[in-house]
């Protein structure tokens, strides 16, 4: 075998290098193709998983009609919430160990009493929804969240419940009036929420959804009726529940929400409500319960009110406020929590006594579970609408409100 010339050796080495380069390029191309295949497979799998989630998750599948379970994140107010079924998320260890102060930022909550749109209030509503609460709106809007008791059905349909002395009904523009007045959420758990039958009650839920106005204390079934309205304000997770301990005795069964049965959250058997409070407590920094309870035209709370407030606080409520007496009752601290037994009328036609037109806004500032402070902003119902007081009238009204605490077990 003849030895290779230098030129032939160079050609062979060059050919070998080209073969090695081609093998390396082929190997690299294979790796790239495998990687692209894996990415495509994951994308397809994710798409199918998303489709399956949308088919089963009420929050994405459009299963609506739940009252009081909206979750909304806001900066300083809670005015963008809607009636919705919220997606359930797991609580992280960090969230569970947030402590009593939550995010550490103070939130001011405002509460008003009973609201309906009958008589002179209806005339105002028909003329201009924004005019109904225009005088009190600046007070409510200065808070981070404002709440009232909506003591009426909102519907054009239905007939008055036979034998019921007072029945209240309002057009859907009632929600416009509440929103314009600075109200962010309302409870419909009271003895007038189904005054015109279940058809009108379901209309109330439907119109609330249309106007993106959150409600608590009522729903298409018990799970919805006892569910809290959840909102995050300044990093604080607020949960608000509504319930009624006042329903006409012959209507308790038919009005109380059940499994697959529309109605309101009743609080005659406190076990159901306290269970809901304990559940809300697990994922909230501040828990509020707005309870319709007490005895009409009494300035002191009944024994049932005192017991109910204690049970709710023991279950985890930080703030318990209420209405029904159509006049104010005492307020103050109960241990680390805060209680107002009776907020009185708020937007109301009745002017048959000084007590029935004495009203105001309760403001409670809270940091997580800590009650930082509270104050009463006195007002008077004029022409059906709450109007803030000033000067000597304001001072006298505040003094009178503080005096109501004397017949309660509450502290300053």
CA distance 404 to 412: 11
pLDDT tens sequence across 179-222: 999 999 999 999 999 999 999 999 999 999 999 999 999 999 99
The average pLDDT across 156-185 equals: 97
> What pLDDT is recorded for position 84?
29
> What pLDDT is recorded for position 7?
43
Residue 401 has pLDDT above 80, yes or no: yes
Structure tokens at 369: 């579970």
pLDDT band at 360 (very low <50, low <70, confident <90, very high): very high
> What pLDDT is recorded for position 71?
41
pLDDT tens sequence across 378-400: 999 999 999 999 999 999 999 99
pLDDT tens sequence across 253-276: 999 999 999 999 999 989 999 999
SS3 57: coil
This prediction has a pTM of 0.79
pLDDT band at 155 (very low <50, low <70, confident <90, very high): very high
CA distance 34 to 29: 9
> What pLDDT is recorded for position 23?
55
> What pLDDT is recorded for position 269?
82
The average pLDDT across 106-135 equals: 98
Residue 18 has pLDDT above 80, yes or no: no
Residue 9 has pLDDT above 70, yes or no: no
**Domain edges within the chain:** 6-56, 71-407
122-125, Cβ contacts within 8 angstroms, sequence gap of 24 or more: 122/170, 124/383, 124/384, 124/385, 125/170, 125/171, 125/173, 125/174, 125/177
Q: Which stretch of 89-98, 222-231, 322-331, 403-412 has the lowest confidence by average pLDDT?
A: 89-98
pLDDT tens sequence across 312-344: 999 999 999 999 999 999 999 999 999 999 999
Average pLDDT, the chain: 84
Name the residue among 228, 323, 334, 339 with its Cα closest to residue 285.
228
Residue 68 has pLDDT above 80, yes or no: no
Structure tokens at 126: 């028909």
- CATH superfamily for domain 71-407: Metallo-dependent phosphatases (3.60.21.10)
The average pLDDT across 336-363 equals: 94
> What pLDDT is recorded for position 350?
72
Residue 83 has pLDDT above 90, yes or no: no
> What pLDDT is recorded for position 98?
82
SS3 80: coil
Residue 39 has pLDDT above 50, yes or no: no
Provide the percentage of residues in the chain whose pLDDT is more than 70.
Answer: 76
Residue 73 has pLDDT above 90, yes or no: no
Cα dihedral value 115, 119, 121, 122, nearest 10: 110
Q: Which carries the bigger pLDDT value, residue 26 or residue 394? A: 394
Q: Which carries the bigger pLDDT value, residue 34 or residue 98? A: 98
> What pLDDT is recorded for position 26?
55
N-to-C CA span, the chain: 114
């Amino acid at each position: 075998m003849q030895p290779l010339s230098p030129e032939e050796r160079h050609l062979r080495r060059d050919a070998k290098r080209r073969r090695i380069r081609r093998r390396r390029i082929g190997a690299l191309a294979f790796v790239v193709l495998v990687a692209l295949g894996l990415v495509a497979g994951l994308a397809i799998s994710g798409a199918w998983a998303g489709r399956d989630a949308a088919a089963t998750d009420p929050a994405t599948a459009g299963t609506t009609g739940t009252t009081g379970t909206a979750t909304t994140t806001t900066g300083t107010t809670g005015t963008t919430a809607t009636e919705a079924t919220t997606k359930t998320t797991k609580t992280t260890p960090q969230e569970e160990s947030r402590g009593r102060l939550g995010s550490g930022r103070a939130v001011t909550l405002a509460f008003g009493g009973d609201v309906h749109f009958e008589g002179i209030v209806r005339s105002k509503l028909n003329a201009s929804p924004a005019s109904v609460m225009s005088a009190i709106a600046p007070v409510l809007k200065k808070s981070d969240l404002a709440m009232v008791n909506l003591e009426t059905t909102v519907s054009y349909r239905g007939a008055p419940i036979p034998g019921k002395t007072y029945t209240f009904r309002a057009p859907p523009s009632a929600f416009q009036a509440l929103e314009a007045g600075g109200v962010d959420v309302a409870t419909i758990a009271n003895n007038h929420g189904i005054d015109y039958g279940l058809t009108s009650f379901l209309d109330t839920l439907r119109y609330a959804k249309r106007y993106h106005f959150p409600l608590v204390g009522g729903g298409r079934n018990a799970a919805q009726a006892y569910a809290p309205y959840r909102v995050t304000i300044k990093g604080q997770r607020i949960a608000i529940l509504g319930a009624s301990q006042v329903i006409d005795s012959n209507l308790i069964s038919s009005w109380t929400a059940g499994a697959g049965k529309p109605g309101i959250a009743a609080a005659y058997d406190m076990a159901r409500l306290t269970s809901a409070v304990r559940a809300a407590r697990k994922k909230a920094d501040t828990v509020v319960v707005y309870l319709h309870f007490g005895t009409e035209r009494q300035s002191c709370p009944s024994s049932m009110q005192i017991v109910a407030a204690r049970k709710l606080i023991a279950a985890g409520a930080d703030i318990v406020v209420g209405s029904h007496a159509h006049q104010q009752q005492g307020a103050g601290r109960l241990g680390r929590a805060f209680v107002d037994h009776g907020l009185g009328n708020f937007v109301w036609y009745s002017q048959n006594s000084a007590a029935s037109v004495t009203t105001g806004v309760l403001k409670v500032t809270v940091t997580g579970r800590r009650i930082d402070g509270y104050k009463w902003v006195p007002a008077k119902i004029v022409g059906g609408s709450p109007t803030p007081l000033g000067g000597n009238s304001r001072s006298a009204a505040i003094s009178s409100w503080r005096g109501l605490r004397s017949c309660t077990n509450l502290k300053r």
